A and B are shown apart, each in its own frame.
Chain A
């Protein structure tokens, strides 16, 4: 019943231009048939004279005779509870040899904005078992916390460890992991899948794979499909969803490629001016809605080109996400895993997820104190390199030693080591105990009396409840 047009006037990169059509809606789904193959596209610009379409599966094989038909509807994702456990392509087609998803519902993949007044404040502590996250950059449910990394750093191992270990303290609740791969290598994808299979995580995961050799335009679709699935699982099926996408840098490259093909006025470093809004439309689909049981927590991974945090991709991401975990090449070289540099790392929602009733009342103070001396110790390293360690004052020597011990004992941990938050705080206290008590200026005296190892014998009651 839909009309087919054979009026393509121009094909340019991933775009096709079609003229003399009926009125076509902006963002409408387009079907393009060529030699028995069906490609899909989306309307980017619609006017009386000409319609601009981006083709997701690439324009290879298209010619001026190719038939184009407009579906009259925007792109929708078929969803049903059976989607959990499936491996799909970057455009949502089965990739595991299984059948197509039989839809219970169809959802617009663009996704509407959550009404800020309907959002619930995220404050449920998630224990990842990693000290540098739990102790100093705490994650809460509904947060979006990206990992900023560089080429060749173990960000994938960290993401996998988080996916494996993440849990809320207390009750067991239904949860799912969504994994969106965008432009990663086949090898990396295998690594993820093998780990999911090893730990049995695949049974409660949905995997979207757009590999490095899949069409770049398809990448624009992948996170949207993943997030639409996440919203369905979280807000229709009451699950707690953790969504990991890697690598956002490849996604942004695709955006730039599309922008260039459309001859748009470029913003910084050639990325389109609307990249902030576009990224926000992905990242902002995290959160919790009042009165709904589920939640969406996001872990985007992005590799900073040239380890440059001021590059537009990490920069714009940092302005949208609620903090960042920064992977440091320097720590990695020292053989420390996970090589998280806590100084530029941050969790903006930390305060609502820690303290009494969440973790422990001394958490904030301990974390601040650790931060302060680790940062100072790091500055002193530079000084010690110039004047020699001996020229430092006694106090400075203590701080310098503290920074070294902090990296070895607090930051460093095993790839399978799942530390409870109380273990993490205990390590923190042991490190602080090596400093004179008068130097603990950021900690209230009452917490010192209660948790300082020096007084530990007198305050048994304060010990953490058993897990």
Chain B
């Protein structure tokens, strides 16, 4: 390994000579050995981005090579961890350096001392392929961690394999060619892990959020973007999704976001119960917390590190949801490094390769047949923070070219405290058609029909509102006034959903369907009544309509809803 010499230090960027390292190799800068990555080679100079603060580093100090790119350590012990952007566990950093993060610390991504009980699933003489699992570890009560032959190794015939308690560094199997396998392997974070075949997105990812599941659903293995100005509820949205999505593993990448928000998350996740199992949500979560004041280069890396761990669990056959909050901060980290490199800037100062990088990242999502045999998926939900809420800026635009689902957050809705503040007219999901069959089969044959009816009422409402702005609602014909009222019901009783209400925060498919169907039933009654010449004031003041508003707050809603509907029946019959 060569030792080079620093020639220049400017912020997180260092130039050094005398190195032979390749692009994206990890190097250790200065006397303190700061973790860094080679991001450019020009003549005899290596250009290096440093993942830590460079205050006090001088020209002339050494740069040591490690001979490998930035890797993630993959093995049992990743779940429940809280990492910084380069997979250093934050609690371990706190043990080593106190409440403030200091520099030059190297901490393993997973515990190398802890013993895990390894159960072999193959035996001596079996032929194993790359990516095939050779055994299991019960990593958490409900999560089995599959130990796989690293996909970047050849595989071969098992010569020896042991079951029992081992650390991640101890040999658990030996192949005929002498290759020793351990429970841990390393994977370069910037390289996608291979799969056998990518599959079509035909299964919805249930989130329990009516506006998402009902109108703009995400498929397992799909990609979604949540753009919105500040204060429109991106972070709450992402946290709600992490809590409720029906996936096995949640990877939350807090990329350049707020420290207090991360503290809130770290405080809340261990206490939150997984709605399906009653176990703490943290047992199936991995959190990357690289707050906005932590070094910018590590922020750039955090998205890749998070992606690599997501893929690793996908390879075991799990459904993984990766949320990145926020991809704009990640793009800004690229811009900051680019401008320090004095690269020719593209649009708004972002590097010209912004689109390519975003594409590489989102393309790593998907549902796939994994090397191990089964199926797994990585779904990505990326928050985008457009400056000034302007969706025409480069990060939003480049993201929209890649993702299939667009949840447009709307500050007008936020101001009315309508949450989730997803605009129902601007948002879209391109998985709609792929998922229709699933909903018909698993929820109700009317699911898609009702969805389209509700959507067309909202669209009509938007047109009518423009007229109302000019002439007032009383000037509209009666049936249109009823449409306005029904739209208001869909918006307030169905689309609005409180993330903080214990019951309303999660709405199962059946409940979503029943609630919407009831509102549409009201609509049918109301139109019938209009035909009979009953006044709008009478129609809109039936008490059962107000009762319907609160059904969503009930856990055992079915008997209550049945009562409300029966009441509605009686009330409409009585109208004269």
Contacts and interface: CB of A to CB of B under 8 A. Distances in A.
A280 B471 CA distance: 48
Nearest to A144: B260
Contacts of A266: 349
A364 interface: yes
Contacts of B415: 343-344, 371, 375
Contacts of A89: none
A338 to B, nearest CB: 19
B342 A112 contact: no
B383 to A, nearest CB: 11
B348 interface: yes
Contacts of B56: 25-28, 73-74
Interface string B372-393: 0000000000000101111000
Contacts of A371: 415-417
A48 B8 contact: yes
Interface in B450-506: 468-475, 492, 500
A319 interface: yes
Given A47-B59, A265-B342, A268-B387, A346 B231 contact: yes
Interface string A280-295: 1101111101101000
B468 A322 contact: no
A287 B263 contact: yes
Interface in B56-91: 56-61, 82, 90-91
A46 interface: yes
Contacts of B549: 441
A120 interface: yes
B473 A393 contact: yes
B112 interface: no
A441 B94 CA distance: 46
A71 to B, nearest CB: 11
B267 interface: yes
A310 B387 contact: yes
A286 B260 CA distance: 8
B349 A319 contact: no
A9 interface: no
Contact of A392 (B7, B57, B293, B472): B472
Interface in A16-63: 23-28, 44-48
Interface string A255-283: 00000000011111000011011001101
B417 A315 contact: no
Residue among A118, A143, A310, A324 with the highest chain B CB neighbour number at 10 A? A118
Residue among A111, A117, A267, A322 with the highest chain B CB neighbour number at 10 A? A117
A461 interface: no
B101 interface: yes
Interface in A371-392: 371-372, 375-376, 382-383, 386-387, 391-392
Contacts of B475: 391
A122 interface: yes
Interface in A98-124: 108, 110-122
A375 B417 contact: yes
Interface in B2-33: 7-11, 15
A383 B469 contact: yes
B411 A348 contact: no
B388 A310 contact: yes
A212 to B, nearest CB: 28
Given A117-B91, A372-B416, A322 B7 contact: no
Given A47-B7, A119-B263, A386-B470, A318 B230 contact: yes
Contact of B55 (A110, A121, A368, A438): A110
Interface string B335-354: 11001001001001100000
Given A23-B58, A268-B348, A273-B336, A315 B10 contact: no
A45 B12 CA distance: 11
Nearest to B287: A116
Contacts of B416: 371-372, 375-376
B356 to A, nearest CB: 19
A339 interface: no
A114 B411 CA distance: 31
A111 B10 CA distance: 18
Given A284-B291, A387-B471, A26 B260 contact: no
Contacts of A122: 260, 263
Nearest to B345: A265
B258 A114 contact: no
B186 to A, nearest CB: 24
B99 interface: yes
Contact of A289 (B60, B99, B254, B470): B99
A323 interface: yes
A165 B335 CA distance: 43
Contacts of B54: 26-27
Contact of A26 (B10, B261, B294): B10
A50 to B, nearest CB: 9
A398 interface: no
B289 interface: yes
Contacts of A283: 293
A215 to B, nearest CB: 22
Contacts of A349: 260, 264
Interface string A111-149: 111111111111000000000000000000011100000
Contact of B411 (A116, A287, A344, A368): A344
Given A265-B342, A277-B336, A117 B94 contact: yes
A276 B59 contact: no
B281 interface: no
A444 interface: yes
A276 B98 CA distance: 26
A242 to B, nearest CB: 16
Nearest to A277: B296
B13 to A, nearest CB: 10
A372 B267 CA distance: 30
B253 to A, nearest CB: 13
B102 interface: yes
A113 B260 CA distance: 12
Given A26-B55, A46-B8, A47-B8, A280 B390 contact: no
Nearest to B547: A438
Nearest to A439: B546
A439 to B, nearest CB: 9
Given A26-B10, A267-B349, A391-B474, A287 B260 contact: yes
B62 to A, nearest CB: 12
Contacts of A150: none
A321 B116 CA distance: 42
14 contacts: A26-B56, A45-B8, A108-B55, A113-B100, A115-B90, A117-B90, A117-B91, A267-B339, A273-B339, A316-B387, A318-B230, A351-B500, A371-B416, A375-B416
Given A23-B60, A117-B90, A119-B259, 8 more contacts: A25-B9, A74-B55, A119-B260, A283-B293, A286-B260, A311-B388, A364-B500, A438-B546
Pairs of residues from A and B, 3 with the lowest C-beta to C-beta distance, nearest first: A310-B388, A280-B292, A47-B8
